[in-house]
Amino acid sequence: MVYLSRVGSTGWWAGMNIKRGLKALIPAALWIGAVAAALSLYPRRFSTGSVIGYAEDLSITMTNVEPGLVRNLGAKLHEFVEPGDVLVRMDDREDRLHLITLSKDLERLQNEVESERIKLNLDQTNVEINAADLARRYLTDRESAHIQYLSALVTQASDQSRLTGMLIEHEILQRLYKTENAGFRELNNYETEVEAVRARIESNERNIDRMLKAFVDADKRWYNFNNKLEVPVDYEAVLRPIRLAVDVREREIEELTFRIDQRVLRSPIHGQVTAVFVQSGDRVQGGDPLVVISPVGTQRIVAYLPENKATVVSVGETVSLYPTAPGPEGPRRLVGEVTSVSDAVREVPIRYRRLPNWPSWGREVVVSVKDESLLPGEAVSLVFTR
């Protein structure tokens, strides 16, 4: 009995120790499980996996703005062209004839403006010459009348002074005559001189009034002439109608020149002619496609992130690219950088969908490759990882 009790006691203590060990291990196990779960979820949260993208295709379709006739082609199918090379030349003979007519009419109007300007200059010169001649005449008359008036005043003052002296002498002679110290003849002669001076003074007074009136009239004529000088010819007012006609012709020539330039379609980029829709002599309508130019290569790839991982990628992130078409040495791996990310989730274009007939949404991402270029439209597998 004693032995059995000891055995039972030992088993009980062992069970208790096991329970205590399990209680101590459970938190550690839970912590390890949480870390493992986080590690397993981390790549799912911060990795998009593989996304199919395509090298950007910036092909340009050249069209004619207005209806016209194709005169000749400047480039052939599959030919490489540089910016500015002539692709298609439309018929512009009618526009060029119209341009010649407008240019001659513009030259005529410009000559007319110059001729009218010369005529106005001559008229203005004649007006100025006549005005200067009249000014000299009026000024001469005014100064002459003024001088005559001043001379008459001086003469009048001199005669007045002389008359005053003669009257004093006459009074002295009369006193001498009364005392018989002067003769009658002498007194009579002196009285005659006094009367002559007095008569001359009266005549001068009338002349002074007349000369003053003549001076006032001459001064008024001079004043009125200066205040009523003819206004100089306003060249712009006279030439404005002709200048307006010149401006209209210049604008018409500018528009027609631009239209003629638009008749020549030039390549905007360095690329290759990938399609030609017309031949020399074809008549086309406005907006009809004529030629397609495709760039030789591109370093931009466009892809769409799945909607559930649209916020994972950011600008500046490094991307691994695997073109689906292998190179001469087998599969290729390129390194690119995210240059732009769209600001919203939008419907994915058909080519970027896993199932073309099944609509899906995603966020557009543009990746640039620095060292190599891809064919426009080439498929590329992109791997975004941090």
- Is the domain covering 62-83+264-294 a CATH 1.10.10.10 domain? no
Nearest partner of 277 among 74, 77, 59, judged by Cα:
77
Provide the 3-class DSSP secondary structure of residue 288: coil
For position 325, what pLDDT does the model report? 80
For position 332, what pLDDT does the model report? 83
For position 26, what pLDDT does the model report? 61
Whether 260 has a pLDDT exceeding 80, the answer reads yes
More confident residue, 185 or 212: 212
For residue 346, give both structure tokens. Answer: 């939008």
Quickly list DSSP for 218-274.
HHHHHHHHHHTPPPPP-HHHHHHHHHHHHHHHHHHHHHHHHHHHHTEEE-SSSEEEE
Q: How far is CA 266 from CA 94, 255, 276, in A?
A: 21, 19, 14
First to last CA, the chain: 71
CA distance 63 to 237: 47
Span 248-261, mean pLDDT?
91
Please state, rounded to an integer, the average pLDDT across all residues of the chain. Answer: 80
pLDDT per position as a tens digit, 1-46: 333 344 445 555 556 666 665 565 666 555 565 545 444 433 433 4
- Of all residues in the chain, the percent with pLDDT exceeding 70 is 82
pLDDT per position as a tens digit, 103-114: 999 999 889 888
pLDDT per position as a tens digit, 85-139: 999 999 989 999 999 999 999 999 889 888 888 888 887 787 778 777 877 887 8
Whether 266 has a pLDDT exceeding 50, the answer reads yes
∠ CA 7-12-18, rounded to 5°: 125
More confident residue, 47 or 234: 234
Structural domain spans, the chain: 62-83+264-294, 96-241
Is the distance from CB of 278 to CB of 290 less than 8 angstroms?
yes
For position 66, what pLDDT does the model report? 85
Provide the 3-class DSSP secondary structure of residue 194: helix
For residue 160, give both structure tokens. Answer: 């007045």
**Which distant-in-sequence residues (6+ apart) come within 8 Å of 345 by Cβ?**
307, 310, 361, 362, 363
For position 186, what pLDDT does the model report? 73
